[in-house]
Amino acid sequence: MNQNTILSVDGLRTHFYTEQGVVRAVDDISFDVRQGEIVGIVGESGAGKSVATTSILRLIEEPGEIVAGEITYQDTTIVGFDERSDGTLVPKDEMLTNRQMRSQVRGNEIAIIFQDPMESLNPVYTVGNQLQEFIELNRDLSGSAAKKEGIDVLREVGIPEPEARFGDYPHEFSGGMRQRVLIAMALACRPNLIIADEPTTALDVTVEGQILNLVSDLQEEYGTSFIWVTHDMGVVAEICDRVNVMYLGKIVEQGPVDEIFYDTKHPYTKALLESVPRPDRTVDELNPIVGTMPSAIDPPRGCRFHTRCPDAREACREVDPQFVDVSETPDTEHRTACIKYDDVGYWDSVPLEHASEQDTSYIDEDQRPENRDLEQTEGEP
Amino acid sequence: MATTEGQLDGKDGGGEPQIGWRHTFQQVKGDPTARFGLYVIAIATSIAVFSAVDANLSRATMGVYPDYTIGEWLPVLENPERMPPPTEMEPYQPPVFAEGGSWANPLGTDQAGRDYLSRIIYGARVSMAVGFFATFLGLTGGVLIGAVAGYYGGRIDDVLMRFVEIIYSIPALVLVIVFTVFVSGGNPDVIYAVLGVGIATIPVFSRIIRSRVLSVREMDYIEAARAAGVKDRNIIRRHVIPNSFAPVLVYATLQIGFAILIVAGLSFLGYGAQPPTPDWGQMLNHAHGQMHVNPWMSIWPGVAILITIMGFNLFGDGLQDALDPRIDN
């Protein structure tokens, strides 16, 4: 593992125990974050991205539970389990208590920016009041010093007339301005790592661009690390250093952003890239991913993507793909979980006829891939 | 009117009334019935407050110093020199407009010859104090229990709400009477009635706020506060309760009128205010034997209760409309 690693997530599983069954929202994911980099977590809605990030802050609520895995932030154990002789997992002794999480980690070490700027500010208080609350809580500043700091941070995130705006209520701000306020609230606590949970999804593209530039600038200035959760490959290309692609609770591909874009390995990543317009490529038609993501209560056997994968073969239904290193140079650390790149018989296997052999009730009639030529897979790696 | 502001309020709160007290006040002002209710409350409250300064206590109590009144903190009551000596008074004097009435006792006198107008004015003090204190008690207890139960959920929720439902399953009047008799040790007084009514209203308040808290706790700003390391106690106090408070406030306004009514009923039954404390319900108790001979003795306290409660109800309805974004005047 790299020396600069500040956060490492190893084999994290977060499950939700619902009446319908166990939702394996996050099922054995591992990734790390190094000092000063922006790590992307990409995937469709419901892939488990937000659950993964809230697990890092241990903000998972009933009926959810972190059932396995290890999360280490610098030298502290946020989540860790010891296996007892009877095979059950018990939390490690050195794991932070809830009180320690609250006072030592949340806010001052790891902050989070939520998805919806409209909902993330308390409507009954002024923006300044909330900002000041967070500053007083996480830094040794009080009263007027905290207020001054709050105004400074608002200025820094590009809010005009911060002294006047400090006393305004959230509903008096536009969406983009509110998102800036949320970023200010995260920054004001001087965290070492900021988790941004789809912070620009609710904004229009021009504002999104401004926010992304702002984040890049601030990140250069403070050297803060980011985990950037998004479903937008464009945003990933814009700001991320390394990327984790998630599908149905698992990370399917992981690597530096250039590798992910220009040396795409996993069919899901490929499909994601093909389903969004890209300025660097002209295509006649976008190629959206067929169908919807299966339920995380009863995920497909074998590779979880095989029900929708254009490259799926018989073997994909049986073999649970392992993470394999597909780096071409030793230091790129490009990994993917697809049996194409593993020696488990993918190439000898028969292509899957999705429409005839699979439950396709979730696929729209006119989108069924009966006529799609499944033989035309990528060349051998 | 501030229509645009109102729409903004509604939209920003996700369809829930959450912000803009100034706007709410504007709406209440623009609603004639609510405004009327507010005036009635204002008049009744000022009568209650200033009666201690001005009205003739000795005329209300025939010089018998009340051993307990809720307004005892007002210094004038502690100063017997301010009280004029009791004058000679005839019992059962009719009001001024009836035959034999005089301006000396505009509403007549009661069975002991005490001035009825003074007693009605003093009665306002007891009633208003009863209404406010009992409601404040129920509101404070109910909001704390309901907010904690709703915020934490799970077992805490179960325990607290089952406890509250036990209280709720006992008829309010029975609960209050039993409480009054037990706690007072056989010497009922209005303070026990107030406590009893307060406890009896905890369930409704806690259920109202809990149902709001269940949706408020899912809001992102609560999650954001947790993620920033705010203590649960402060999240409940600063973020959860203020955002869940609107329906509680409406109910509290209506509840004040209801508490006045219940305590008047208790006094009527002899479990509330005790003589010589002037209280409307107790006055009704003394008057009901005279219903046919001296009907005015029953009518004056009845009218006083009616007007006061109507004031609270009209204001409460207006407040409800003002806080409901779907109704915009």
Q: Where are the domains of chain B?
A: 15-78+89-323
- CA-based nearest residue in chain A for residue B7: A171
- Which chain B residues have a beta carbon less than 8 Å from that of A120? 220-221, 223-224
Question: pLDDT by residue (tens digit) across A112-163?
Answer: 988 887 788 888 889 999 999 889 888 888 888 999 999 998 988 888 899 9
Summarize the confidence of residues A219-227 as an average pLDDT: 88
**Mean pLDDT of chain B, nearest integer:** 79
Task: Give, as one character, the DSSP assignment of residue A316.
Answer: H
Summarize the confidence of residues A295-310 as an average pLDDT: 85
Summarize the confidence of residues A323-334 as an average pLDDT: 81
Sheet containing strand A335-336, edge to edge, reads A110-113, A193-197, A225-230, A38-42, A242-247, A250-256, A335-336, A324-325
A47 neighbors A246 (Cβ within 8 angstroms)? yes
Tokens linked to A333 = 């650390």
CB contact under 8 A, B153 and A171: no
Residue B257, min C-alpha distance to chain A (Å): 28
Q: Is 80 exceeded by the pLDDT of residue A263? A: yes
- Which chain A residues have a beta carbon less than 8 Å from that of B242? 122, 124-125
- Which chain B residues have a beta carbon less than 8 Å from that of A185? 224, 228
Residue A134, min C-alpha distance to chain B (Å): 7
Q: How far apart are CA A362 and CA A360, in angstroms?
A: 5
The secondary element (H helix, E strand) that includes residue A321 is none
Q: Give the pLDDT band of residue A44 (cuts 50, 70, 90).
A: confident
Q: How far apart are CA A218 and CA A150, in angstroms?
A: 16
Name the E strands within A180-241.
193-197, 225-230
Task: Report the residue from A111, A115, A169 with minimal CB separation from B227.
Answer: A111
Alpha-carbon distances, residue B106 vs A357, A371, B60, B277, B298 (angstroms): 96, 99, 13, 20, 15
pLDDT at B8: 37
- Which chain A residues have a beta carbon less than 8 Å from that of B224? 112, 114, 120-121, 182, 185
Q: How far apart are CA A145 and CA A136, in angstroms?
A: 9
- Which chain B residues have a beta carbon less than 8 Å from that of A59? 223, 226-227
- Which chain A residues have a beta carbon less than 8 Å from that of B9? 171
pLDDT at A307: 85
Chain A 106-125, CB below 8 Å of chain B: which residues? Answer: 106-108, 111-112, 114-116, 118-125
pLDDT at B58: 52
pLDDT at A245: 93
Task: Report the residue from A57, A121, A171 with minimal CB separation from B227.
Answer: A57
- Domain range B15-78+89-323, CATH architecture: Orthogonal Bundle (1.10)
Summarize the confidence of residues A303-314 as an average pLDDT: 85
CB contact under 8 A, B18 and A59: no
pLDDT at A356: 40
Provide the residue count of chain A.
381
Residue B228, min C-alpha distance to chain A (Å): 4
Task: Report the residue from A114, A169, A170 with minimal CB separation from B223.
Answer: A114
Task: Report the residue from A119, A133, A134 with minimal CB separation from B219.
Answer: A119
Task: Give, as one character, the DSSP assignment of residue B95.
Answer: P
How much helix, strand and coil, in percent to the nearest 5, is found in chain A? 30, 25, 45
Residue B18, min C-alpha distance to chain A (Å): 7
pLDDT at B161: 94
Higher pLDDT, A81 or A357: A81
Report how far apart the first and last C-alpha atoms of chain A are (Å, whole number): 26
A243 neighbors A257 (Cβ within 8 angstroms)? yes
Domain parsing of chain A, residue ranges: 300-381
pLDDT at B89: 63
Best probe of the A interface among B8, B223, B323, by most A CBs < 10 A, is B223
- Which chain A residues have a beta carbon less than 8 Å from that of B220? 114-116, 119-120
CB contact under 8 A, B229 and A137: yes
**Mean pLDDT of chain A, nearest integer:** 83
- Low-confidence spans in chain B with pLDDT less than 70: 1-21, 51-89, 325-329
- Which chain A residues have a beta carbon less than 8 Å from that of B233? none
CB contact under 8 A, A185 and B228: yes
B115 neighbors B56 (Cβ within 8 angstroms)? yes
CB contact under 8 A, B226 and A59: yes
CB contact under 8 A, A106 and B14: no
pLDDT at A86: 82
Give me the phi and psi of A342, to 5 degrees please.
Answer: -120, 160
Report how far apart the first and last C-alpha atoms of chain B are (Å, whole number): 8
- Does A60 contact chain B (CB < 8 Å)? no
The DSSP code sequence of B107-135 is T-B-TT--BHHHHHHHHHHHHHHHHHHHH
- Which chain A residues have a beta carbon less than 8 Å from that of B238? 122, 125, 133
Complex confidence, ipTM: 0.78
CB contact under 8 A, B9 and A171: yes
- Which chain A residues have a beta carbon less than 8 Å from that of B12? 118, 123, 170-171
* Apex A272 CA angle, A267 and A275, nearest 5: 120
